[in-house]
Structure 1
Amino acid sequence: MREDIVSFAENKDMPFRVLMCGISYCDYSYRIERQNSELNVIEYIISGTGTVNDNGRIFNPREGDIYFLKCGENHLYYSDADEPWTKIWLNFSGRLASKITECYNLEKEIYFHAPELKSYFYEFYDISRSCIGAKAVCEQSSVVFLRLAQRLCEYCKDKTSARGSVAYKVKNYIDDMTDYSQKLDDIAQKMSYSKNHIIREFKAEFGIAPYEYMLRRRFEIAGSLLKNTAYSVSEISEKLGFCDTGYFSGQFGIRYGASPSEYRKK
């Protein structure tokens, strides 16, 4: 097997300490076991499958899955011999890591299907390889971990949904969007669901189509930009991904009972 690993000397003065980060191209021999682990392990499965045993809880993570093993627990994980893992991961520890984990209720959460969160792990990897000095790596990685923990927390909430997690995953993705040119087809591809499945689950959970929800969010942001910025109506229309300012103004008027200019004056 082959591994691309970046490792750092432990600095116990750092509140968030990165110990190692890397990509593992596993084979049948890959097996990791720790008793009362002194570090946290969070890993994203790029391909393949394997087994994770966390204090007797058994999971079989595969492509698009994340598992998060905590310090102070017994870790055991190994790759499947016929379909071995390729995975990207971070080993870390520290008071800040524990506090973030606690604040976002991730202490007991281990296993997530979250293909759209893969980019966070490549951020860890890029930081580890490009930053000069362990302190910079730890500081920048802590920011990425905070953002990742916030997203994973939403997945924990999804599990309590009566309809499962698909509708809430899509809603959270839309709520977190900054690129408003994205279409539902783009979201479906990134989340590895069919568009029809997303529409069906979203309508069942929230009573509206995801496209209509996306429009609502865009017009809510438009209202905020009209109230709190000096952007012109055409600039706001462009920022929110509308190709035609006239269409944007007309739809805004239908929803708010006033044109964008009138709304701003009020």
Structure 2
Amino acid sequence: MLTKTKSYSRGFRLVDSGYYAPDFQRLRVLQSLIELDFRYNRDINVYAVKMGTSIHALNRFAKAYLGRSVYELLQDRIYREALYLLQHSRHTIKEISELLSFSDLPYFSRWFKQRNGQTAKVYRKGFKT
């Protein structure tokens, strides 16, 4: 006769164990470094040094797992912050460009328009209805 074994309603998951694959850990480290330094540090060489690898190897790694270079990841994070500040802060566009470490307002405006298709001023007006 077969005996029933006790079944557990909650199965084992890797998330529960606290274990993360080494590549996933590296991605988390890269993400956290970008998150901490994106406003002040635009040199991807610094990220490579902090992670103990070369720029080439770090870019190859990022492209393999995320489909983007470290520079593109950094630019994406800066862009997301610019969008957030334009939507939710009372800072002027010039102050936002300074907060994001742009050398001058015209450069920030060109950079933003290249990514968004509209100027920061027009983008912000779309949220003030």
TM-score interval w.r.t. the shorter chain?
0.7 to 0.9
Whole-Å separation in 2 of the counterparts to 1:168 and 1:179:
15
The answer for unaligned runs of 5 or more in structure 1 is: 1-103, 110-155
- Matched pairs, number: 111
Matched, 1:211 2:71: yes
Matched, 1:180 2:63: no
- More displaced, 205-214 or 244-253? 244-253
**In structure 1, the residue corresponding to 2:40 is in which secondary structure?**
coil
What pairs with 1:1-266 in structure 2 (closer than 5 Å)? 105=16, 108-109=17-18, 156-157=19-20, 159=21, 163=23, 165-174=25-34, 176-178=35-37, 180-182=39-41, 183-266=43-126
**In structure 2, the residue corresponding to 1:242 is in which secondary structure?**
coil
Q: Percent identity?
A: 28
Whole-Å separation in 2 of the counterparts to 1:256 and 1:215:
13
Output the TM-score relative to the length of structure 2: 0.73
**In structure 1, the residue corresponding to 2:39 is in which secondary structure?**
coil
**In structure 1, the residue corresponding to 2:50 is in which secondary structure?**
helix
Whole-Å separation in 2 of the counterparts to 1:164 and 1:227:
32
Instruction: Give the conservation status (yes or no) of the 8 Å contact 2:38–2:77.
Output: no
Of the two structures, which has the highest relative contact order with CA contacts closer than 8 Å and spacing of 6 or more?
Answer: 2
Whole-Å separation in 1 of the counterparts to 2:24 and 2:118:
38
Once the two structures are superposed, residues 244-264 of structure 1 have per-residue CA deviations (whole angstroms, 9 ceiling, x without a partner) of 321211121121121001111
Whole-Å separation in 1 of the counterparts to 2:39 and 2:113:
20
Structure 1 position 196, deviation (Å)? 1.6
Aligned CA RMSD, in angstroms, stands at 2.2
Structure 1 position 194, deviation (Å)? 1.8
Q: Which has the higher helix share?
A: 2
Whole-Å separation in 2 of the counterparts to 1:166 and 1:179:
17
